[in-house]
Structure 1
Amino acid sequence: MQASPPSAPAGAAPDDARHQRVRDAVRALVAEFGVNVSMDAIAARAGCSKQTLYARYGSKQALMHLVASDGMAAIRLPPAPTAGSLRKALVAFAEDHLAHLAEPRTLGTARLVTAQAAEFPEEVAAMYQDYVGALLDRLGGWLQQAMRRGLLRHDDPHCAAELLLGMIVGLDFDRQRHLAPHRDTPEARSQWAAFAIDSFLRAFAPPASRT
């Protein structure tokens, strides 16, 4: 089981201009250098001292986790699924996720971090947990609510979340990583997102709605 990262000091990360600079610095440096980023480099890029970073965030691990959590907060999912919003919410989520994966920075970071896995296994595993693991947990919790409300058939919500993410992404992210032809327009991604969500909803339709 993945250990929880050290907690940052209380009140360490208000959503202010300084935190935004630090957050932007972390994301830019990870895109350029992968997980092998030092607090010295983050401080220099953000325009502050290393001591300030440790005072505000506690450790590099806690800072990286916080930046990942900021990204998870931007995921568009309603607080609770309803019969009227289920498909619309999932299609919007799928479109956002595919658009994020299509961003050059996301693709470049994925290539770089994958190449560093053998050299920095703990850091790469922690980054996976902070991003993909957190995304699975959040989506699984949301699907569990839908199951409890009778909007989806009852099953393991976290397995359903993993299956759904696989259906949304398909092979397209691998195609991009290997420079193969892929769905490179918003229209193509939206069409695939709708297809994936409709297929998932048919597979997990509650028994009463099956024909």
Structure 2
Amino acid sequence: MACPDHNSSTAERRQRVLDAARALMAEQGFRVSMEAVAHRAGCSKQTLYAQFGSKHALLHDLMQEHLDITTSRLEAFNGQAREPLLAFAIEHLERLSAPDVAASCRLFSAESPQFPEEARAIWRDGGQALLARLASWLSLAMEAGCLRHDQPHVAAEMLLSMLVGLELERQRFSVAQRTPQARRAWAELAVDAFLRAYAPASPAVQC
């Protein structure tokens, strides 16, 4: 069948497909098919392939959307460090704690040995891309004198590790996760600890 609501915009149709793919990945992991996505989104498989080209391209766009939302406060360095880092930290923890993301992560972890290429693509388009974006932003903060200049990629991985803590382990073993208030408190603790660890020797600017 053809996509319904021919008056809806291309962006709306695209978002409907991404939402469908996200929900199905939480249910089926790497086994999700383009046919299932088309059925859930309410469009034909031919329309889906015409819009995205392949399952790999669709998953890439889905990870890109997730990444764009998570790093929206890190689009440009504006001379401040704590406020945008804290906003990023809270958004990152909220996204990781979303039920569909948590379910997808559990399935990906279990299925990665059976789908190594798909798993590597998810890591490349997700975790590795997130690390690169954060490192780029931290590099700008270091150049501005807000942080000690020292291996931005290492700093980015350290901050991400501090933020996530044991949250993924809680998800893996179905242990109750932190409340939104507790996540924000943890984000503040982690960001402030990171800023102390990477504080410049002689702060020349107010960040």
Q: TM-score, normalised by structure 1?
A: 0.86
Partner of 1:4: none
Matched, 1:126 2:121: yes
C-alpha distance in 2 between matches for 1:168 and 1:158: 15
Q: Any residues of structure 2 matched to 1:15-164 within 5 Å, and which? A: 16-75=11-70, 76-83=72-79, 85-164=80-159
What percent of counterpart residues are identical? Answer: 49
Partner of 2:185: 191
Determine if contact 1:80/1:142 at 8 Å carries over to the other structure: yes
Q: CA deviation at 1:179?
A: 2.8
Q: Specify the code of the residue in structure 1 equivalent to 2:39.
A: A
Structure 2 unmatched runs, 5+: 1-8
C-alpha distance in 2 between matches for 1:15 and 1:137: 30
Q: CA deviation at 1:15?
A: 5.7
**CA, structure 1 residues 15+152, in 2 after alignment: closer, same or farther (shift >3 Å)?**
farther
**CA, structure 1 residues 91+40, in 2 after alignment: closer, same or farther (shift >3 Å)?**
same
Determine if contact 1:34/1:116 at 8 Å carries over to the other structure: yes
Deviations 1:20-55 (Å, cap 9, x if unpaired)?
111111101111100111111111111112111222
Matched, 1:205 2:199: yes
Q: CA deviation at 1:181?
A: 5.1
C-alpha distance in 2 between matches for 1:120 and 1:25: 21
Deviations 1:47-79 (Å, cap 9, x if unpaired)?
112111222212111111011111211123243
**CA, structure 1 residues 24+180, in 2 after alignment: closer, same or farther (shift >3 Å)?**
closer
**CA, structure 1 residues 67+15, in 2 after alignment: closer, same or farther (shift >3 Å)?**
farther
Moved more, 124-133 or 191-200: 124-133
Q: TM-score, normalised by structure 2?
A: 0.87
The list of structure 1 runs, each at least 4 consecutive aligned residues, that deviate by more than 3 angstroms after superposition, is: none
Structure with greater proportional helix content: 2
C-alpha distance in 2 between matches for 1:136 and 1:78: 12
C-alpha distance in 2 between matches for 1:44 and 1:130: 25
C-alpha distance in 1 between matches for 2:176 and 2:18: 33
Deviations 1:72-106 (Å, cap 9, x if unpaired)?
111232433344x3101111111111111222211
Determine if contact 2:29/2:104 at 8 Å carries over to the other structure: yes
Q: Specify the code of the residue in structure 1 equivalent to 2:103.
A: G
**CA, structure 1 residues 54+176, in 2 after alignment: closer, same or farther (shift >3 Å)?**
closer
Q: Specify the code of the residue in structure 1 equivalent to 2:33.
A: S
